[in-house]
Chains A and B, each alone.
Chain A
Amino acid sequence: MTAIANNAFRSFLSMLGIIIGVAAVIIMMAIGQGSKQSIRAEISKMGTNIINIRPGARQRGGVRLDPSAMQTLKVEDYEAIVNNKKYVTYVSPEVTASGQCIFGANNTSTTMYGESLEYLDIKQWELKDGDCFTDDDIRKGAKVCVIGQTIVEELFSNTNPVGKNIRFKSIPFKVIGVLKEKGENSWGMDQDNVIVAPYTTVMKRLNAQTYFSSITCSAITEEMTDNAIDELTAVLRENHKIREGADDDFSINSQAEMMDTMSSTMDTITVILVVAAAFSLLVAGIGIMNIMLVSVTERTKEIGLRMSVGARGIDISNQFLIESIMISLTGGILGILLGWLLTLAANAIGLPASIPAWSILVSFAVCTVIGVGFGYFPAKKAASLDPIEAIRYE
């Protein structure tokens, strides 16, 4: 141990590899964990009981390009779901149209969502001003809409838009309500840059289509999501007359499922990053082995002396093992501190990062293993020296 102190600078340099390696592993794990937590939080804010039905089979491997497969969700499906719902509370078919929206001299590019009344309940969106459209509007395909805050800012410069007429793709729509501001979601998408209109209006007057691009539902509770999915699958399979054993021509995703997918994707990314960082630990271990070998050669005479005065091989190898463990563990502790500082820095610049407690334990364990593993060979070399030759070594 005094050898470490006597060669402080050299010991520090070989420690540096461990310090950087451990810090890298810690910060990678912290960012992985932090991002995962923030994405989970974001998704659950969007409602974990939301279920999305899309036309076409769930894509596995290849992409299906049959256009007819994309038109399988029809009004009948929507009605069947509404009529048979047990685990599902709200249902809204969705048809979207993107285009230019004009009011007076202002214009903005946006997406119009054709939905049912229940859409706002599913998304848990609230109105700031005015009202939502009614069943009557849906039946008639009325040219009315509810707009998000971004549209208000772009077109109305924050004057009250309720009751005004805007033009979307040259068709006039009457603004009857304004949505509360929701901000960006975790993918950076502006959730306020939306126009919600009756789905019948978008289908017939804008797109002239007879199918939906998707159907959004909400389960009674998050726990009931799986039951709701089963229920929806059964209804749609019956409606589409899909035989037993044949593939669905639609796919159902729940927000909870999506959360799991996102989590496991984040886990995979974290693992890749941590493995990359772990390689630097391997390199650091080799560095320690190198310095220990130098130390053994340099201290051959000392080893010879120790053996002469009664040190056994195991005493000598223990001495060097303890030294290498000390170097790697001290490096590990400094690395954890550095990783922690980097995590604080990451938080300060807005990166979500939180150190999982187990990663510290793992770092300690890994450092001990490195100390023993890479110290073993030099220690064995030291222990196998012949005291007669060692003490005469110059």
Chain B
Amino acid sequence: MNNGQEKKVVIELQDVRRDFKVGDEVVHALRGVSFKIYEGEFVTIMGTSGSGKSTLLNQLGCLDTPTKGEYYLDGVAVRTMSKSQRAKLRNRKIGFVFQNYNLLAKTTAVDNVALPLMYNSKYNARERREAAIEALKAVGLGDRLEHKSNQMSGGQMQRVAIARALVNDPAVILADEATGNLDTRTSFEMLVLFQKLHKEGRTIIFVTHNPDIAKYSSRNIMLRDGKIREDVVNTNIQSAADALAALPVNQDD
């Protein structure tokens, strides 16, 4: 990242360590991780289970704090923040996309998407709804505003979840195995959407164990045993849309 001077740093980790006590033993889940992520990057973080991937995601998502080291999100030091300060930070700066969507049951798409704004007193009911509709249009669900979560397909649910991650205009979108529960075709549809968001200037961190996804992102960080093993910029970003078009049609229907 030689052009760091011009681009804004969204995420900065300085020698982040995270230890867990399991019984009498101390497990070192993260053993000193440092990197910077700049605005507009689409980063995949990969690693096998046990590599510290989930622990790193929890750190990045401000759900947990480092045992040692510093984490700056959009210039704010996270380690010393209280629980409710971190909740507020998540609310304003982070959009989460989960593997199993985590939508509210029996709740409409609009209400699901508006959920993060419920915890932001700057928005009133009308503004929440407007923002939610806009986010749903951005993910291509403008015609399914009042569909309830149990009336939607997996792909639609994940689109709603992505819309929910967009609604607060976050500094970074954190996707945790966001295609893990979807079939190949729908997975590519999601990647197309993520690439579209990337083109629009969003910062995306995509945590996955699937190495294929790295081809579609702009940078790839590989974790092993709590350390960064590889951090490479992808100069040859492939188009998910092309890959989707190349899929045999009858495979999914």
Contacts and interface: CB of A to CB of B under 8 A. Distances in A.
Given A311-B87, A314-B84, A2 B107 contact: yes
Interface stretch (B5-13, B40-48, B71-79, B97-105): B97-105
A16 to B, nearest CB: 23
Contacts of B118: 311
Interface string B88-113: 10111000101000101111000000
A2 B58 contact: no
B64 A315 contact: no
A310 B88 contact: yes
A31 interface: no
A310 B84 CA distance: 8
A57 interface: no
A205 to B, nearest CB: 91
A303 to B, nearest CB: 11
B160 to A, nearest CB: 13
A304 B103 CA distance: 11
A309 B119 contact: yes
Interface residues of B, number: 25
A387 B120 contact: no
A308 B88 CA distance: 10
Nearest to A384: B83
Contacts of A2: 106-107
A125 B64 CA distance: 89
A301 interface: yes
A314 to B, nearest CB: 7
B84 A309 contact: no
Given A306-B115, A387-B63, A388-B64, A312 B88 contact: yes
Contacts, number: 57
A302 B102 CA distance: 7
B66 interface: no
Contact of A309 (B106, B107, B164): B164
A305 B91 CA distance: 11
Given A6-B106, A302-B104, A310 B98 contact: no
A70 interface: no
A308 B104 CA distance: 13
B61 interface: yes
B226 interface: no
A308 B119 CA distance: 11
A314 B164 CA distance: 22
Contact of A311 (B63, B102, B119): B119
Interface in B173-206: none
B64 A310 contact: no
Interface in A275-327: 301-302, 304-315
B105 A307 contact: no
Interface in A1-36: 2, 6
Given A309-B91, A311-B119, A313-B87, 8 more contacts: A305-B115, A308-B102, A309-B115, A309-B116, A310-B87, A387-B63, A388-B58, A388-B63
Interchain residue pairs A-B with the least CB separation, the first 7: A310-B91, A309-B116, A312-B84, A312-B87, A310-B119, A305-B102, A310-B90
Interface of A: 2, 6, 301-302, 304-315, 387-388, 391
